[in-house]
Amino acid sequence: MIKALSTGEREACVTVSHLDGLVLARSGFNTSVNYRSAICMGRPELITDKDEVIRQFELFFNRLAPGRWDTLRPMADQELKATGMLKMDIVDFAVKERAGGPSDSVEADHDIWAGHIPITTEIGTEVTATDSKRADLNHEVMHYSF
């Protein structure tokens, strides 16, 4: 996919959806989910500048785990060559969301529970790899917030 899109000659659509909850209505027709989604269109191009690729990796890894990039071993040239990274100017986009409970109040006399169940994501407690040379995680550096 990256090879096919790397020339900048093809348009692409990037879609991201986040599930926020289950909406359980009194009928199957009105049962739904709460979500947020974004669709972005553009023409991707391969990032060829090595320093820019490394900068983007740093931004990515520090977003996953703040301060982590500076603790990692440097990327090998072979790893950089084996990884394609694209950038894309967004030329058009659409966002959509659904929130709240079911919309089947006309069926309120049907004797069944109706409402919504939130779905959340949380950061759990770390599990150290069995072959890790260090047993501690540098909590002073890593402060997660999503």
Task: Answer whether 50's CB lies under 8 Å from 80's CB.
Answer: yes
pLDDT value at 145 more than 70: no
pLDDT value at 8 more than 90: no
pLDDT value at 138 more than 80: no
Residue 94: exposed, middle, or buried by beta-carbon count in 10 A (0-12, 13-18, 19+)? exposed
CATH hierarchy code of domain 1-47+84-140: 2.30.110.10
pLDDT value at 146 more than 60: no
Q: In what order do the strands lie in the sheet with 90-98?
A: 90-98, 32-42, 12-24, 115-118
Whether pTM > 0.75 for this model: the answer is no
Give residue limits of the domains in the chain: 1-47+84-140, 50-83
Question: Looking at residue 98, what is its pLDDT?
Answer: 97
Question: Looking at residue 1, what is its pLDDT?
Answer: 85
What tokens does 118 get? 């939130």
Cα dist from 103 to 18, 26, 40, 58, 115, whole Å: 21, 9, 29, 45, 9
Mean predicted lDDT score pLDDT of the chain: 89
pLDDT value at 31 more than 60: yes
What tokens does 51 get? 């320093």
Torsion of CA 93, 98, 99, 105, to 10 degrees: 150
